[in-house]
């Protein structure tokens, strides 16, 4: 590639906000490619590709049909339709076919149906680039749903001149999701089991490990998580493989949408505020206390949780720790739904402390803004956390996190005891209710000292959680890979 040619990057993902969002992956694909495009200017042409999910069709965004092309299967061929739209200035391709989409949900929640959908998506997205004759320098895949596109470059297209210069990055957002159940679909598409002796046997027809094996670079969504997955505790059976290939592994922390999450301009809160107008934050707390029927007292420390009620999030530790603090004055509001057992425990504990604890079991974006804005202390005792967005949002609202020192939480929160002057929150290491209880007690004590608490809030609210930081680091990797490929 000459120096005047733009680097072609295809960013492949299963979801992208606002077209389709199920979780944090949608946030990333909705924001990162656009930020990379703005940051890189003329150097990079980055485009996005996602399946044309039913939920996108229902929204009826302006799309243009580019055309139809086939992909080969054992039974013959599968016809795919390629559409194009725009997402925040990024050319975005939508892939459709009976197999990929079939008016399906983003995820079926069924291993073999999802396996088939995303195995076909992974092959079709490469064929789509051939169809439009757009040669890619970098394929940037995300999680197991597009990991097979990375493996396809080595297994199906190794000798194909069209992909001869294509390098691949695989970003891992959540290692335990391997894409089990795709083997039948893979065989049908002509994939062969990977013979890499470094992989465990169970991984030879499993999308995520195959992507890891084939990728030129592996990125996790925080340096902390990149270290942790090298250990048996966090490595999901792939730690041995990852230790052998550490040289291609690194971590880049995600960003948050600084316009959506801005206490100065937030339309969902009654009293916008900034570092210099923190008294308005207390008015938001009074509003929330009134709305939820809690005692209206701005001096009471308000604990908040905005989370999926999932075991990964360490929600059980909260229910175990909180009764030991019941003698102290505080309030707790938990917003989240998820595992039945945890929902039940949330209901039980709210019933046991009706004047202190409220559990709201729904997904409510507006209410989440109110909780971030009115809370004093944000609980996030995750057992593991590849990156985590909620703690960054909370800090932006001066809602000080008490979190487990794991993964991205370790990289985004500066612990009070490690660096009191620069601190933005409280971290604890133990995976136990005792650890959380001690950290909460520390936070409650420091909360009493208005001056020190203000310093924590000021530090937290001025931390840089922009996507630009992540974009610059990804660009660096794109440049390194492209130099090696030419
Ligand atoms: P994960 O992606 O593992 O669920 P993150 O911390 O990365 O966790 O992102 C969680 C996102 O989902 C945050 O934006 C948070 O505000 C939002 N969220 C979680 N639960 C709820 C809920 N019940 N209502 C509204 N927003 C929620």
- Whole-angstrom CA distances from 112 to 183, 186, 202 are 8, 11, 16
Atom of ligand 1 nearest to the CA of 385: 3
Which residues approach ligand 1 with their CB closer than 6 A?
23-24, 306-308, 335-337, 363-365, 368, 388-390, 393
Domain boundaries defined on the chain: 7-255+468-484, 275-464
Strands 357-360 and 331-335: parallel
Which CATH fold topology does 7-255+468-484 show?
Rossmann fold (3.40.50)
CA–centroid distance, 238 to ligand 1, in Å, is 27
- pLDDT digit string, tens, across residues 73-110: 998 999 999 999 999 999 999 999 988 877 889 999 99
CA–centroid distance, 192 to ligand 1, in Å, is 38
CA–centroid distance, 388 to ligand 1, in Å, is 9
Q: Do domains 7-255+468-484 and 275-464 have the same CATH topology?
A: yes
% the chain with pLDDT above 70: 99
- Residues 403, 405, 407, 411, CA torsion sign: positive
| Residue of 142, 368, 371, 467 best suited for mutating to test ligand 1, as the one with most atoms within 8 Å of CB | 368
| Residue of 308, 334, 378 best suited for mutating to test ligand 1, as the one with most atoms within 8 Å of CB | 308
Which CATH fold topology does 275-464 show?
Rossmann fold (3.40.50)
Ligand 1: residue whose CA is nearest its atom 24: 363
Average pLDDT of span 368-388: 98
CA–centroid distance, 309 to ligand 1, in Å, is 10
CA 234, CA 238: separation in Å to the nearest integer?
Answer: 9
Residue 486 has pLDDT above 70, yes or no: no
- pLDDT digit string, tens, across residues 445-457: 999 999 999 999 9
pLDDT for the residue 2: 47
Whole-prediction pTM value?
A: 0.94
Residue 441: partners with Cβ closer than 8 Å, 6 or more residues away: 325
Atom of ligand 1 nearest to the CA of 254: 7
- pLDDT digit string, tens, across residues 394-413: 999 999 999 999 999 999 99
């Amino acid at each position: 590639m000459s120096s005047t040619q733009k680097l072609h990057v295809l960013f492949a993902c299963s979801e992208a906000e606002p077209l389709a969002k199920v979780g944090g992956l949608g946030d990333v694909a909705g924001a990162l490619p656009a930020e990379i495009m703005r940051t890189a200017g003329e150097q990079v042409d980055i485009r996005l590709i996602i399946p044309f999910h039913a939920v996108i069709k229902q929204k009826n965004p302006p799309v243009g049909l580019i055309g139809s092309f086939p992909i080969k299967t054992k039974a013959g061929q599968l016809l795919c339709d390629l559409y194009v739209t725009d997402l925040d200035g990024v050319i975005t391709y939508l892939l459709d076919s009976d197999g990929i989409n079939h008016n399906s949900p983003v995820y079926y929640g069924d291993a073999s149906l999802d396996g088939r959908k995303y195995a076909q998506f992974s092959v079709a997205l490469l064929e789509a680039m051939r169809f439009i004759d757009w040669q890619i320098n970098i394929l940037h895949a995300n999680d197991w749903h597009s990991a097979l596109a990375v493996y396809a470059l080595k297994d199906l297209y190794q000798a194909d001149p069209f992909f001869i210069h294509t390098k691949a990055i695989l970003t891992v957002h959540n290692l335990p999701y391997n894409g089990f159940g795709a083997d039948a679909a893979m065989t049908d598409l002509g994939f062969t089991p990977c013979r890499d002796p470094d992989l465990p046997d169970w991984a030879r027809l499993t999308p995520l490990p195959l992507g890891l094996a084939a990728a030129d670079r592996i990125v996790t969504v925080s340096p902390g998580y990149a270290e942790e997955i090298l250990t048996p505790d966090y490595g999901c059976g792939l730690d041995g493989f990852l230790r052998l290939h550490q040289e291609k592994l690194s971590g880049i922390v995600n960003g948050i949408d600084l316009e959506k999450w801005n206490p100065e301009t937030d339309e969902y809160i009654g009293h916008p505020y900034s570092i210099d107008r923190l008294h308005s934050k207390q008015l938001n707390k009074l509003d929330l206390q009134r709305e939820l029927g809690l005692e209206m007292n701005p001096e009471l420390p308000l604990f908040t949780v905005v989370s999926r009620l999932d075991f990964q999030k360490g929600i059980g530790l909260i229910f175990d720790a909180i009764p030991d603090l019941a003698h102290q004055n505080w309030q707790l509001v938990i917003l989240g739904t998820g595992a039945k057992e945890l929902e039940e425990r949330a209901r039980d504990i709210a019933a046991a402390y009706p004047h202190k604890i409220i559990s709201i079991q729904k997904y409510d974006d507006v209410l989440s803004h109110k909780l971030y804005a009115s809370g004093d202390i944000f609980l996030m005792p995750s057992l593991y956390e590849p990156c985590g967005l909620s703690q960054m949002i909370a800090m932006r609202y001066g809602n000080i996190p008490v979190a487990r020192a794991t993964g991205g939480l370790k990289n985004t929160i500066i612990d009070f005891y490690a660096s009191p002057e620069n601190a933005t929150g409280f971290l604890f290491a133990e995976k136990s209710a005792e650890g959380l209880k001690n950290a909460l007690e520390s936070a409650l004590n420091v909360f009493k000292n208005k001056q020190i608490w203000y310093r924590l809030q000021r530090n937290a609210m001025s931390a840089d959680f922009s996507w630009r930081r992540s974009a610059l680091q990804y660009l660096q990797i794109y440049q390194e890979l492209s130099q090696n490929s030419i």
